């Protein structure tokens, strides 16, 4: 079953019925939108469970800005917070996965560098302060927010998504929400155009789908990746492993996330173990945008999906990768490197972010 279901036309059609106020929020006001977390705030945001431990609290208290972070250019990109990924080959997708993951060919990839974690609120705020950039959600005045139904309330598929007025990257759940204590959480409510503008400021770009998937595998051989795709599922053992490696949904979706992995909603970046390339949160936490256009399955290769400059056409949906905190054993089940979904051009959501790359 698709775990996004975010068709812009459906959201707009439902806008009149959606509430004009934001859902209830734990934080409000006009304080520093990316104030660092305090120990108390970190403890409060962590769910009762596995990650309310010293290491998890340490990641929750991080600033969200890597040393040396600042503007760059195409000729001299800023390299702060990047990790090296060696050249190699990738067979894109998985024939053991969902239909849209099948039919991928083998691709040779040059070495590149990629963010060690998703772009944080602190990083995006620094970009906005330096440039005065206004996101698409801020310009349109509304964005897509996940709102869990009340227990016992009928929940037709995708009714948990609402177009909320006043939702944007500073107010990801709506105007009564804020980023207080979440400087090092992944920025959300950003569109592909917003992500590309941020990447250009640093002299970087969004990853291609192939770069992202290759990095997410963390150095696995092709045989290891295929075996992992075939073995991953909803066994108790797999779910225990997943809780140590990715921020996903535990409990009955969409009513209640138990937070058994330590977090409900987004988690601070870097709280979960890194993969073989030193990359955190490639799986779960938030879906991550790529620069590639959506074509359906890999087999439905479309030469118009990516323009000669490597960016998806403005009107085409983008491929996003890796699953999010909304992926659960009974809905989505896309917490794998080969997982992929579309995000419509111009649309921003409360469960999608991004990271950036630089060619070596």
Q: What is the CATH number of the domain that holds 220?
A: 3.90.1580.10
Say how many domains are in the chain.
1
Separation CA 161–CA 8 (nearest Å): 11
The pLDDT tens digits of the residues spanning 199-225 come to 999 999 999 999 999 999 999 877 777
pLDDT at 149 (0 to 100): 87
Residue corresponding to tokens 């945008």: 289
Find the length of the chain. 360
Residue 340 pLDDT: 92
Structure tokens, 276: 């073989």
Residue 203 placed within a domain:
yes
Q: Which pLDDT value is given to residue 314?
A: 61
Position 125 scores a pLDDT of: 98
How far is Cα 279 from Cα 20, in angstroms, rounded to an integer? 38
3-state secondary structure of 340: strand
Q: What pLDDT, on the 0 to 100 scale, is given for residue 54? A: 44
Inside any domain, residue 52: yes
Q: Please check whether residue 180 lies inside any domain of the structure.
A: no
CB of 245 closer than 8 Å to CB of 271: no
Measure the CA angle with vertex 322, ends 69 and 251; round to 5°.
Answer: 115
Helix locations, the chain, DSSP H: 8-14, 39-45, 54-60, 121-131, 136-140, 192-202, 209-217, 222-231, 236-245
Q: What residues of the chain score a pLDDT lower than 50?
A: 1-5, 8-32, 38-55, 237, 303-310
Which residues is 107 bridged to in the sheet? Answer: 90
**Angle 177-183-188 from CA coordinates, rounded to 5°:** 60
* Residue 23 in domain: no
Tell which residue, 313, 286, 232, has the closest CA to residue 121: 286
The whole-number pLDDT of residue 164 equals: 96
Rounded distance between C-alpha atoms, residue 42 and residue 28, angstroms: 16
Residue 165, Cβ density class (10 Å: 0-12 exposed, 13-18 middle, ≥19 buried): middle
What pLDDT is recorded for position 291? 95
Residue 20 covered by a domain: no
Instruction: State the Cα–Cα distance between residues 237 and 351, nearest whole angstrom.
Output: 26
The 3-state DSSP composition of the chain as helix, strand, coil percent (nearest 5) reads 20, 15, 60
On whether residue 234 sits in a domain, the answer given is yes
Helices (H), 32-110: 39-45, 54-60
Q: Tokens 């691709």 map to which residue?
A: 107
Q: Give the β-pairing of 287-293 and 112-115.
A: unpaired
Q: Which domain covers residue 83, as residue numbers? A: 37-70+77-133+185-359
Domain assignment present for 317: yes
Q: Can you give the pLDDT at residue 20?
A: 40
CB atoms closer than 10 angstroms to residue 357: 23
- Residue 2's pLDDT is 47
In 3D, which of 336, 172, 335, 158 has the Cα closest to residue 254? Answer: 158
Quote the distance between the C-alpha of residue 120 and its chain's center: 11
The answer to the question of residue 215 being in a domain is yes
Measured N-to-C along each axis, helices 192-202 and 121-131 cross at an angle, to the nearest 10 degrees, of: 70
């Amino acid at each position: 079953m698709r775990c996004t279901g975010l068709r812009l036309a459906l959201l707009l059609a439902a806008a009149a019925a959606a509430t004009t106020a934001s859902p209830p929020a734990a934080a409000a006001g006009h304080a520093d939108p990316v104030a660092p977390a305090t120990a108390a705030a970190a403890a409060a945001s962590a769910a009762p469970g596995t990650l309310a431990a010293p290491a998890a609290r340490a990641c929750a208290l991080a600033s969200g800005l890597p040393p040396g972070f600042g503007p760059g250019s195409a000729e001299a990109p800023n390299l702060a917070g990047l990790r090296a990924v060696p050249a190699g080959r990738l067979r894109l997708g998985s024939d053991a996965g969902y239909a849209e993951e099948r039919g991928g060919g083998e691709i040779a990839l040059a070495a590149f560098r990629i963010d060690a974690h998703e772009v944080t609120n602190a990083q995006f705020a620094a970009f906005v302060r330096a440039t005065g950039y206004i996101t698409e959600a801020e310009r349109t005045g509304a964005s897509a927010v996940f709102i869990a139904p009340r227990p016992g309330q009928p929940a037709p598929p995708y009714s948990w998504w609402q177009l909320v007025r006043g939702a944007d990257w500073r107010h990801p759940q709506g105007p009564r929400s804020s980023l207080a204590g979440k400087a090092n959480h992944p920025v959300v409510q950003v569109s592909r155009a917003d992500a590309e503008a941020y990447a250009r400021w640093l002299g970087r770009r969004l990853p291609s789908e192939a770069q992202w998937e290759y990095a997410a595998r963390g150095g696995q051989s092709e045989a290891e990746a295929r075996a992992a795709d075939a073995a991953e599922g909803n066994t108790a053992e797999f779910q225990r492993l997943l809780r140590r490696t990715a921020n996903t949904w535990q409990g009955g979706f969409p009513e209640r996330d138990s937070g058994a992995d330590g977090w409900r909603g987004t988690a601070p970046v870097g709280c979960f173990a890194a993969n073989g390339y030193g990359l955190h949160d490639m799986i779960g936490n938030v879906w991550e945008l790529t620069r590639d256009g959506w074509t359906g399955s890999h087999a439905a290769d479309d030469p118009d999906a990516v323009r000669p400059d490597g960016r998806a056409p403005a009107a085409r949906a983008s491929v996003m990768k890796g699953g999010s905190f909304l992926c659960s054993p009974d809905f989505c089940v896309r917490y794998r490197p080969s997982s992929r979904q579309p995000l419509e051009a111009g649309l921003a959501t409360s469960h999608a972010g991004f990271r950036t790359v630089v060619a070596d």
